[in-house]
Amino acid sequence: MTRPLRVLVIGAGTGGMCLAHGLRRAGIDVAVHERDRTRTSGLHGYRVGISPNGARALRACLSPELFATFVATTAAPYERLGMYTEQFRELVSIGLNEVPHAGDGPEDREYNVSRVTLRQVLFTGMEDVISFGRRFTHYEQHADRVVAHFDDGSTDEGDLLVGADGANSRVRRQYLPHATHTETGLLAIGGKTPWSAQTAALLPAGVRNGFGMYFDRRGQFGITHVMRMPWGPDGAPREGIGSSDRELVGRWPGLRFDNTTDHVSWAVTTSRSLAPADLLDRDGADLTTLAAELTADWSPCWQALLAGTEHGADVALSIRTSDPLDPWEPSTVTLLGDAAHTMTPGRGAGANTALRDARELRDRLVRVRDGGSTLVGAVGEYEDLMRRYSALAVRESLEFMNDRGTARRPVVGPLSVFAQRTSLRLVDRIPAAKRRMALGMQKVRDSELV
Ligand SMILES: Cc1cc2nc3c(=O)[nH]c(=O)nc-3n(C[C@H](O)[C@H](O)[C@H](O)COP(=O)(O)OP(=O)(O)OC[C@H]3O[C@@H](n4cnc5c(N)ncnc54)[C@H](O)[C@@H]3O)c2cc1C
C-alpha cells in the first residue's frame, strides 16, 4: 500500500535542493523554504569540488537532462594538483589523469563547480517547489504532522521536516540543542581574480590548469583553483566544449542568473593568533589587503594574484567543526548536510556529504511511500548511516587542518615544516607514493567507505 507523504525542506542549498529533486521525481510532495529573497541573493561564490560520491547523488536525484546540464556547466577539469612552498617552489606535483577513476560513468568523475552555478542548476525547474524569502524560525511537532513557522508569520505543515539550513541551522538548535561546534582557531579569507594571460602567468606552470596548495613556515596555507567556464564573458557557450554540451548550456535558463566567468579562486587559511581580532568584521578590498599583509613574505606572484582580486566575492570565514554526538531517537524531524555535520574545508567533503545525505534520505522515503517502512523507522535508518559516514568525514577534515597546524607550535613547528617539506619532496620522486597520496586525499570524498 502506498502512503502519501509531504516533506518540508528548510534551506535551498546543495543538500536540500538535491533532496527536493529526488523526492519530486519520485512523486513525493515536497516544499522547500529558503530565507534568501531571490534565486540570486546571498554570497555563494566559491569553488566546490564535486567528487564521485556527490556526483552519484546528483545523478540519482536529478532528471537525466538536468544531470547532463550539471555536467555541461562545470568548469574545465584539472590536469594537475601541485603543492608548493610559499615561494612557489615545488614540493610535489601529481597528474590527476594518473589517478584511477572509480568507473567509466559520468558519475565516477571529479567536477569543478562554481557554487553559484551549481545553485542555479539546482533551482532549474523547481520554481513551484521553492518559496524564497521565508526564514524558518521554529517548528511544532504533533502526533501526525510537523508545522514549520517563518519570520513573516506564515506556516507550512507536512509529515516530515528536514533541516537542510546549513552550519548555523535553526532546526538543529531546536531539535538537538546539545549539539555543539568547536572553533578550530583557523580563519580563512578567499577571493576571485579574473582570468587573463597575465593572471595565468602568476601561477606555477603546473597548476595553470589545476589546483595549487602553498604552505608557509608559520602554518598558513593558500589554495588556488583555476575556473575556466564553458561560456565566455558574454554568456555564449564556448567553441570546443562539445556540441551536446553547447546545446545544453545554450538552452539552460539558469545561465541568465549566473554571472560566473573565468577566474582563479584563491584562499588563505591563517590562525587567530596571527590575524587581527576584527578579521571577521572586514569585507571587500579590506579583506584582500589583510590577506596580502598576512602573506607579505610569500612569492611576488601570489601578491600580484591577490592585487588583481575583483571585489564583491571576498569572503572571510571562521573554520568550525561539529563535535561528536551520541545517537538520538528518530522522529518526524531530521537534518542533513552542514546542519547535521559541519566540517572544515580540509578534505573538500562538506557538499559531497550533504549530497550523499540527500540521496540516502530520498531512497528511504521512497520506501515509506511504497509501504515498505514506517516514516520514523526510515528516518532512523538514514540517521544511523549518516552519523557513521559523516563522523569519518568530519574527523578526516579536521585532521587535515590539524596536520597543517603543527607548523604553528613553538619548537616543534620549524621541525615539522622541515619534515613535511622533506616528505613531500620524497613522495614526488616515487610514482607509487604519489598515487597513494592522491588516493588517500580522495578517500573521504570519493568512496562510500561506510
Ligand atoms: C570556502 C569553502 C570551500 C568549500 N569547498 C568545498 C568543496 O570543495 N567540496 C565540498 O564538498 N564542500 C566544500 N565546502 C563545503 C560546502 O559548501 C558545504 O558543506 C555545503 O554547501 C553544505 O550544503 P548544505 O545544503 O548543508 O548547506 P548550504 O549549501 O549552506 O545551504 C543552506 C541553505 O539554508 C538556507 N538557510 C539558512 N538558514 C535558514 C533559515 N532560517 N530559513 C530558511 N533557509 C535558511 C541558506 O540560505 C542556504 O541556502 C566548502 C565550504 C567553504 C566555506
Give 148-193 pLDDT, tens digit per residue.
999 999 999 999 999 999 999 999 999 999 999 999 999 999 999 9
Lowest mean pLDDT among 155-164, 264-273, 405-414, 422-431: 405-414
Gap between the terminal Cα atoms of the chain: 31
Distance CA 364, CA 19 (A): 11
- For the record, the C-alpha cell of 6 comes out as 509531504
Lowest mean pLDDT among 171-185, 356-370, 431-445: 431-445
Position 447 scores a pLDDT of 53
Distance CA 256, CA 123 (A): 12
Beta bridge partners of 194: 263
Q: Is 348 in the pocket of ligand 1 (CB under 6 A)?
A: yes
Beta bridge partners of 226: 264
Confidence of residue 443 (pLDDT cuts 50, 70, 90): low
Closest ligand 1 atom to 188 CA = 1
pTM of the model: 0.93
- For the record, the C-alpha cell of 350 comes out as 562538506
Query: Which residue out of 34, 137, 352 has the highest number of ligand 1 atoms within 8 Å of its CB and is therefore the one to mutate?
Result: 34
**387-411: b (≥16 Cβ within 10 Å) or e:** bebbbebbebbbebbeebbebbeee
Of the candidates 345, 439, 404, which has an alpha carbon nearest to the alpha carbon of residue 81? Answer: 439
**pLDDT > 70? residue 222:** yes
pLDDT (average), residues 326-335: 97
Position 338 scores a pLDDT of 97
Confidence of residue 107 (pLDDT cuts 50, 70, 90): confident
Distance CA 99, CA 183 (A): 34
Residue whose CA lies nearest to ligand 1 atom number 53: 345
Sheet containing 263-271: which strands, arranged edge to edge? Answer: 90-95, 80-85, 210-215, 221-227, 263-271, 181-194, 315-322
Residue whose CA lies nearest to ligand 1 atom number 27: 166
Confidence of residue 121 (pLDDT cuts 50, 70, 90): very high
The domains found in the chain, sorted by start residue, are 6-446 (3.50.50.60)
Lowest mean pLDDT among 24-38, 43-57, 144-158, 209-223: 43-57
Mean of the per-residue pLDDT values of the chain: 91
- Pairing verdict, β 160-163 and 181-194: unpaired
Q: Which residues contact 325 (CB under 8 A, 6 or more apart)?
A: 176, 178, 179, 387
Position 407 scores a pLDDT of 59
Position 113 scores a pLDDT of 94
Higher-pLDDT residue of 296 and 41 is: 296
Tell me the CA–centroid distance for residue 231 and ligand 1, in Å: 25
Confidence of residue 408 (pLDDT cuts 50, 70, 90): low
Position 45 scores a pLDDT of 67
Residue whose CA lies nearest to ligand 1 atom number 50: 345
Position 16 scores a pLDDT of 98
Of the candidates 255, 203, 196, which has an alpha carbon nearest to the alpha carbon of residue 225? Answer: 203
Residue 6: phi and psi, rounded to 5, are -125, 125
Position 301 scores a pLDDT of 98
Of the candidates 207, 195, 263, 208, which has an alpha carbon nearest to the alpha carbon of residue 84? Answer: 207
E-assigned strand segments in 252-344 = 263-271, 315-322, 333-335
Q: Is 337 in the pocket of ligand 1 (CB under 6 A)?
A: yes
Position 4 scores a pLDDT of 86
pLDDT (average), residues 245-267: 88
pLDDT (average), residues 229-258: 85
Position 410 scores a pLDDT of 55
Position 412 scores a pLDDT of 57
Confidence of residue 260 (pLDDT cuts 50, 70, 90): confident
